[in-house]
Amino acid sequence: MCIYIYVYIYIYTYIYIYIYTYIYTHIYIYIHIYIHTCVYIYIYICVCIYMCIYIYVYVYIYVYICIYVCVYVDGCVYRYIFISVFSCNELTHVLYLLFPVGPYTITYFGVRGRCGAMRIMMADQGQEWKEILIDFADWTKGDLKASCVFGQLPKFEDGGLVLYQSNAILRHLGRNHDAYGKDGKEAALIDMMCDGVEDLRLKYVKMIYQEYDTGKDQYIKDLPNHLDKFEAVMAKNKTGFLVGNKPSFADYGLFEVLLNHLVLCSSCLDTSPSLKSFVEKMSARPKIKAFLSSDAYKKLPINGNGKQ
């Protein structure tokens, strides 16, 4: 009897403990999982909401303000910061897509003159610009002249930046459009060539404005002497450009001066094969070709006194 009771109690207790433990632990686990799932879902939703707000604030406010500042207020400063931080030529192309330059405005008289090279350069770079053409009668009133740093035009505006001096403007375009060499050494050589082009331009301008009737023939006779120097540099570089393997602002300057000389004397490049092929190649670049045949270009005389 005792054994019977003992076994009975043992089995009963065993079943009780088993069922109790089984039910209790399952309920406990279910509650636990339920609570944890709720907590995880809650955390997940919070993180999502936080991320959405963060991304929204970051993208729509921070980036929008950056782009606004870059494009409309003073794009140059931002570009220079990026370019000097990364100092990578390839990246500049991406940056110019992200942060377009300009808007550019040229204020000048209705001639090609000292704006010829920069217009060709901007056209070739696919850069649009606005022109403000000044009538000489308005210029003589003096207000605009008084506002110019050196009392002369052209005036060039890039967003909030105002520049005078045509070669400084070309250099600025060179920096903005990756046309200033691949490194410091190329940049120095490009500066040197730009100054060489300036010397030739000054001789040409002096002849056109001061000695056209008396000095034109002698100027044309002397021309091979001046062009030889450029011919030698062009022949030595072998890329078809003055420095490096793509056009720099000095190339646009030389190209424009040579176009003017071809009007003065159509055979002036006959003894300079490299310069001749340079002019042909530059003229055939699609954007330059389109610009040179546009009314905007053709309607402007080369020089202010009508001589060419």
Ligand X SMILES: N[C@@H](CCC(=O)N[C@@H](CS)C(=O)NCC(=O)O)C(=O)O
What residues make contact with ligand X under the rule CB under 6 A? 113-114, 145, 152-154, 165-167
Structure-token pair, residue 289: 């070709």
Closer of 236 and 299 to ligand X (Cβ): 299
> C-alpha 181: how far from its chain's center?
14
Strand 129-134 with 104-109, pairing:
parallel
Closer of 95 and 115 to ligand X (Cβ): 115
Q: How many CB atoms lie within 10 A of CB 90?
A: 8
Residue whose CB is nearest to ligand X in the complex, by number: 152
Min dist. Cβ of residue 129 to ligand X (A) = 16
Closer of 113 and 196 to ligand X (Cβ): 113
Closest CA to 157 of 143, 174, 169: 169
> C-alpha 85: how far from its chain's center?
16
Min dist. Cβ of residue 304 to ligand X (A) = 7
Structure-token pair, residue 219: 């100027």
Min dist. Cβ of residue 78 to ligand X (A) = 27
Closer of 198 and 237 to ligand X (Cβ): 198
Closer of 95 and 193 to ligand X (Cβ): 193
Min dist. Cβ of residue 134 to ligand X (A) = 9
Residues making up the chain, counted from first to last? 308
Closer of 87 and 305 to ligand X (Cβ): 305
Asked whether 173 and 104 are in contact (CB, 8 A), the reply is no
Structure-token pair, residue 229: 């120097």
Min dist. Cβ of residue 187 to ligand X (A) = 20
Strands (E), the chain: 104-109, 129-134, 155-158, 161-164
Closer of 237 and 303 to ligand X (Cβ): 303
With helix as H, strand as E and coil as C, how does 117-130 read? HHHHHHHHCCCCEE
Min dist. Cβ of residue 276 to ligand X (A) = 27
Closer of 206 and 298 to ligand X (Cβ): 206
Min dist. Cβ of residue 59 to ligand X (A) = 43
What helix, strand, coil percent values describe the chain, rounded to 5? 70, 5, 20
Min dist. Cβ of residue 141 to ligand X (A) = 12
Phi, psi of 211 (to 5 degrees): -135, 25
Closest CA to 114 of 285, 241, 256, 219: 256
